Structure 1
Amino acid sequence: METRRLHLLVELSRLGSMRAVAEAQNTTTSTVSQQIAVLAREMGTALIEPHGRRVRLTPAGRRLAEHAVTILAAVEAAYLDLTPGAEPNGTLRVSGFGTAIRSYLLPLVGDLAVSHPRLHVLIREHEPAEALSLLATDEADLALTYDYNLAPAAEDPAVRATPLWTARWGLGVPARTDAGQGTALDIVHRFREHDWIVNSRNTADESVIRTLGSMAGFVPRVTHQADSLNLVQGMITAGLGVGLLPLDTAVLPDVRIVPLTAPDIELRAYAVARRGRLNWPPLALVTDRLTRAARGDGTTTA
Structure 2
Amino acid sequence: MLDRRMELLRVLDRVGTITGAAELLYRSPSGYSRQLSSLADELGVQLLEQHGREVRLTAAARRLVSYADEVKTSWLRTRASLTEESDGGGRLRIGAIPTSLSRLVVPLLGDLSAAHPLLSIRLSEVDAPRCFDQLIADQLDACLVPARAGVPPQSDRRFHQRSVIVEPIDALVPPEHPAAGRPGISLKTLAEDRWVLPGDERSGHEEILSACHAAGFTPQVQHYAQDTQAVSDLVAATGAVSLTSRFATYRSLAVRVPLTGSPQPGRQLLLCTAAGAENTAALGTLVELIRLRTPVTDLGED
| TM-score normalised over the length of structure 2 | 0.59
Separation (CA, whole Å) in 2 of partners of 1:201 and 1:252: 26
1:293 aligns with 2:295: no
**Native 8 Å contact 1:200 1:226 kept in 2:** no
Counterpart code for 1:294: I
Counterpart code for 1:188: L
Q: 1:79 to 1:121 in 2, by over 3 A?
A: closer
Quick one: which of 142, 153, 156 aligns to 1:155? 153
- Could you list the runs of 5+ residues in structure 2 that have no partner in the other structure? 1-77
Counterpart code for 1:286: A
SS at match of 1:138: coil
**Native 8 Å contact 2:128 2:151 kept in 1:** no
**Native 8 Å contact 2:129 2:150 kept in 1:** no
Displacement of 1:222 in angstroms is 6.4
**Native 8 Å contact 1:170 1:244 kept in 2:** yes
Counterpart code for 1:297: R
User: Cα deviations across residues 117-166 of structure 1 (Å, max 9, x unaligned)?
Assistant: 43211211112333223113322111111236xx7955242212222222
Q: 1:89 to 1:134 in 2, by over 3 A?
A: same
User: Cα deviations across residues 211-270 of structure 1 (Å, max 9, x unaligned)?
Assistant: 23334233542641223x233212211217321123576665622223323363202222
- Could you list the runs of 5+ residues in structure 1 that have no partner in the other structure? 1-77
Q: 1:79 to 1:136 in 2, by over 3 A?
A: closer
Separation (CA, whole Å) in 2 of partners of 1:79 and 1:275: 12
Separation (CA, whole Å) in 1 of partners of 2:206 and 2:185: 19
Separation (CA, whole Å) in 2 of partners of 1:254 and 1:189: 22
Separation (CA, whole Å) in 2 of partners of 1:234 and 1:82: 50
Query: Residues 1-302 of structure 1 correspond to what in structure 2 (within 5 A)?
Result: 82=82, 84-147=84-147, 153-156=151-154, 157=156, 158-179=158-179, 184-191=186-193, 194-198=194-198, 202-203=202-203, 205-215=204-214, 216-218=216-218, 220-221=220-221, 223-227=223-227, 229-239=228-238, 241-247=240-246, 252=251, 254-262=253-261, 264-279=264-279, 284-300=280-296
**Native 8 Å contact 2:188 2:212 kept in 1:** no
The percentage of aligned residue pairs carrying the same residue is 18
Q: 1:248 to 1:175 in 2, by over 3 A?
A: farther
User: Cα deviations across residues 54-84 of structure 1 (Å, max 9, x unaligned)?
Assistant: xxxxxxxxxxxxxxxxxxxxxxxx9797265
Separation (CA, whole Å) in 2 of partners of 1:106 and 1:218: 36
User: Cα deviations across residues 254-294 of structure 1 (Å, max 9, x unaligned)?
Assistant: 22223323363202222111112224xxxx12211111112
Separation (CA, whole Å) in 2 of partners of 1:81 and 1:247: 36
Q: 1:147 to 1:241 in 2, by over 3 A?
A: farther
Q: 1:121 to 1:208 in 2, by over 3 A?
A: same
Separation (CA, whole Å) in 1 of partners of 2:177 and 2:80: 62
**Native 8 Å contact 2:171 2:258 kept in 1:** yes
Separation (CA, whole Å) in 1 of partners of 2:99 and 2:176: 29
Separation (CA, whole Å) in 1 of partners of 2:109 and 2:286: 11
Displacement of 1:92 in angstroms is 2.1
Separation (CA, whole Å) in 1 of partners of 2:246 and 2:208: 16
Separation (CA, whole Å) in 2 of partners of 1:189 and 1:112: 43
SS at match of 2:191: helix
Displacement of 1:89 in angstroms is 1.9
Q: 1:125 to 1:287 in 2, by over 3 A?
A: same
Q: How many residues align?
A: 215
Q: 1:172 to 1:84 in 2, by over 3 A?
A: same
Q: 1:127 to 1:199 in 2, by over 3 A?
A: farther
Counterpart code for 2:100: A
Separation (CA, whole Å) in 2 of partners of 1:187 and 1:246: 18
